[in-house]
Structure 1
Amino acid sequence: MLNSIHKLISEVYESSITEKNAKISALQSQINPHFLYNTLNIMKSISRVKGVEEVAEISEALSDLFKYSMKDLDKEVTLLEEINHIENYMRIQQHRFRNRYRLQVNMTEQVKQASIPKLMIQPLVENAVNHGLKDIQENGLVTITAFQKEQTIYITVIDNGAGISEDKLQLLNRQLNRKIIETNDSGVGLTNVSQRLRLMYGARYQLQVVSKENEGTKVTIQLPFNRKGSK
């Protein structure tokens, strides 16, 4: 009994420290949002006046991206809101890389208003772009699929990129299944998402990565299905 109590206290303490560290990291990365928004709006306006529509589009997408990602980090959003944010991110990347890859979204109508943690899917898409598709010169594809089955929402992010070797894949999945995850520059995307989901849902979530070299990677998240505002 005493050992169980000590174990529970230790797990609660470690969970609290992990959550605080994640929030500190997020706060340290913030800059004054009003200055940023105003600057981007000025850039957008000048670009439209000068007829440089591409710069105006990038400025608008970047402004919307920062507005979404720099406040209320603990907030839950609808799946549709998260997808809109990802579309802004991909719009910028498509301008940057001259349409080397594109985004495809398949989701059923009933899951558009599903409640999910803010910035849960975007890091997975960013991971696909920065790692899976980094060497692709054309026809790169990131596909997001979401559907409901009974009381669970299934969300997958698939890329047709380089894939992950079997050894690295096993190591990654072992790391994602640990209760306390040590984040570093090479694993911020997936490990941060797994850590946040564990803090919010405990044993009620699943995150799995399957991959094959030269064929691509698939990340699947399972969460309890809730409509935004229904809690």
Structure 2
Amino acid sequence: AKLFDFRPVFRNPGAMAYILAYAVHVWEIFTFRSWVVAFLAFSLTLQSRASLIAPTSVAAVSSLAAMWASIGGAELAVRYGKQRVLTLIMGGSALMAAGLGFTATWPYPVLIGLIIIYACFVQGDSATVHAGVVQSAEAGRLGVTMAVQSFLGFTCAFLGPLVFGLVLDVSGFSETPRSWGLAFMATGAVIATGPIILAWLLPKAHPLRDERVEPI
């Protein structure tokens, strides 16, 4: 029975801090991956000049850049601590999301640059939140801790793109920059809760290990 007892995980504030931070991270990253191509395609319909760079190519390049951003974020966490780095990355991501959708009418090359930068923020916290979950798990409970992480994370992976689409439909049927702006703002509001969650729960956690990211 103890094997399937998840209650100790929910009573572990350190683990729950990083699990919930992971959940909002997954909400954002799956929303971005699901909608970035459609957003770029919408922007192309507003441009006065055609572009040789397809939205799918931009999405591919942004994914490659984001992979390195995740590694870089982990390196920063080693030096400066997980909570500080996650707060900066998630805060920056929320700020970018708040304005990104409204830039659909901007020159397409500028928008490509913004998408790549935003992708780096979106994934820059990935390795660090994973490490936080692993390091804050109680001895003998890593499996159930990561099970809770996966369940909440992929629940948010389902909900994020869905909510984004609902906001698009309610606010303008994806036909105006305003509707895209509000949809991205909704995503930004979710990721903005990450630093709040960390600031609320981490002070209650027992210092089981060094707060910085350890090589694993």
Q: Tell whether the structures are fold-level matches, with TM greater than 0.5.
A: no
After TM superposition, the score normalised by the length of structure 2 is 0.29
> How high is the TM-score relative to the length of structure 1?
0.27
Larger radius of gyration between Structure 1 and Structure 2: 1
Greater share of residues in strand: 1
Q: Which has the higher helix share?
A: 2
